Amino acid sequence: VGEVVSGPWAKDEAPTAAEPAAGPAEAAQPAKAARQTDVETALGTRWAVWVGGIALALGGLFLIRYTIEAGIFGPGVRLTMAGILGLVLVGGGEFIRRTGFKVPVQGAAGAYIPAILTAAGAFILFGTIYAAHGIYGFIGPALAFTLLGAIGVATISASLVHGLALAGIGLIGAMATPALVSSQAPNPWALFVYLAIVLAATAAIARLRDWKALAAAAFVGTGLWTILYMANTPAANLSAILFINAATLAVLAFVWLGARGAEAESSGGFDWPSIAPAIFVGLSALGLSVDPAFIVAGDALAGAALLAAMLAVALYQPRAPP
């Protein structure tokens, strides 16, 4: 017992000792094959489905453009066809989601076709409403503004069941709406009330899904519109500026951070999406305090009030930046 055996027996035992070492290599081969299969499936089916969805969206927009250039049908018929196509795509996406209809393409289930169809339909509806207002003048700025905003908010809301990508599409459309709709007499209150609604809805949905990037993007979009208004409007409406900044801080404190409750306390740390509203509210306060146009109007005190409100939010919600 305990004797070391040499000679021919050592040669026979060598393969036995090497057998365990061969096990991991053999086990790695099926894993490698599985990864190759996943890549092939993604390239051959999932990405193809996404490309098809993009093609549908662009096809709807090019349908409008082509019929304009070729003079096929009248403007009303063109827009009606495009609108119907957008609604059919959105309805088709919802039908597949609710019924669990299986698309007869191997691996296509991983691409989540309902979200793709809904996104394509939303793009087409955005383009249709814009064309009805900006190209043909069929609808006025107020109705176009309302419809585009409604499509954007509805798309963001649909992201609760379709995912973050659709929320991003809806937010881009909602934030682009004020730039797409022009008016002879711009109303800052209409702009900022609209932005406050979009911001609150987006922050609430982002909070439910913990989509930090979406919340940050909504704060950035609202802040950019505020700064653009202050920079490009000779006689800016102070009340409207204070309103949108107060709404931003309220959404930050009570919707994005406030809704977290005990979760925020337990997780600790710093909430990075809060940087965006802090920066833009700070820029608004700085503009009111140092811009000669605002100083002459006596608005420097309003800038100090914004800074005080931002400090109050930081004290109320420690996760927000000071």
Q: How far apart are CA 280 and CA 258, in angstroms?
A: 20
Please give the C-alpha separations between residue 311 and each of 57, 243, 265, 308, in angstroms, as whole numbers: 45, 17, 19, 5
Asked if residue 3 belongs to a domain, the reply is: no
- Is residue 288 within 8 A of residue 309, CB to CB? The reply is no
Q: How far apart are CA 311 and CA 308, in angstroms?
A: 5
Look at residues 143, 167, 185 and tell me which one is the last residue of a structural domain.
Answer: 185
Assess whether 107 and 157 both reside in one domain: yes
Asked if residue 169 belongs to a domain, the reply is: yes
pLDDT tens for 7-65 read 444 444 445 544 455 455 554 455 444 454 454 444 445 556 556 666 666 666 666 66
pLDDT tens for 242-300 read 899 999 999 998 888 875 544 555 555 567 888 888 889 888 888 877 777 666 555 55
Asked if residue 2 belongs to a domain, the reply is: no
263 contacts: CB under 8 Å, gap ≥ 6: none
Assess whether 75 and 108 both reside in one domain: yes
Q: Which tokens hold the place of 262?
A: 């005990």
Asked if residue 7 belongs to a domain, the reply is: no
Overall number of domains in the chain: 2
Burial (CB count <10 Å: 0-12, 13-18, 19+), residue 135? middle
Domain span including residue 107? 21-185
Please report where in the chains the tokens 């053999």 appear, as a residue: 26
Assess whether 235 and 151 both reside in one domain: no
At residue 177's C-alpha, the angle toward residues 120 and 189, to 5°, is 150
Q: Which tokens hold the place of 34?
A: 């599985």
Q: How far apart are CA 30 and CA 81, in angstroms?
A: 50
- pLDDT of amino acid 166: 86
Asked if residue 106 belongs to a domain, the reply is: yes
pLDDT tens for 169-214 read 889 889 988 888 766 667 888 889 999 999 999 999 999 999 999 9
pTM exceeding 0.75? no
Of 188, 267, 174, 254, whose CA–CA distance to 226 is shortest? 188
